[in-house]
Amino acid sequence: MLAKSRKRATGRRRGRAPAFAGLFATLGDETRLALVATLASGEPRSIAELTAGSKLTRQAITKHLRVLERAGMVRCARAGRESRFAFDPRPVEEMREYLESVSAQWDAALGRLRDFVEK
């Protein structure tokens, strides 16, 4: 019974990995990572606010925001004539939980290896 539940849990974790690969790829871009860091402050921002102090055009920032939006890390809401972008932490939290589970698996594997070597 234990082996079956362990196998199912492991299969579920592996099944989630491809979804996280897209999130990692999205955050692998320096500009998008900087946008997430800026938006993580909790304050929704307009494209003009996000472009201020940047060498990038509004069009380039918009393109990166749309990639983040498709990945579920950013939400867009209209406020009059302007679009305001806000960070959605759920995908990052799910990614963190996944990484913690992988870390626990590695810790367990290393513990078994240490026990084997020390015997």
Distance separating alpha carbons of residues 61 and 59, to the nearest angstrom = 6
Distance separating alpha carbons of residues 61 and 119, to the nearest angstrom = 57
| The residue to which tokens 């990052």 are assigned | 92
Mean pLDDT taken over the chain:
85
Averaged over 58-77, what is the pLDDT?
95
Q: Indicate the pTM of the whole model.
A: 0.71
pLDDT digits over 4-45, tens only?
433 333 444 455 666 788 888 899 999 999 999 999 988 999
pLDDT confidence of residue 38: 94
Beta bridge partners of 74: 87
Question: Which structural domains are found in the chain, ordered by start?
Answer: 10-118 (1.10.10.10)
Averaged over 93-101, what is the pLDDT?
90
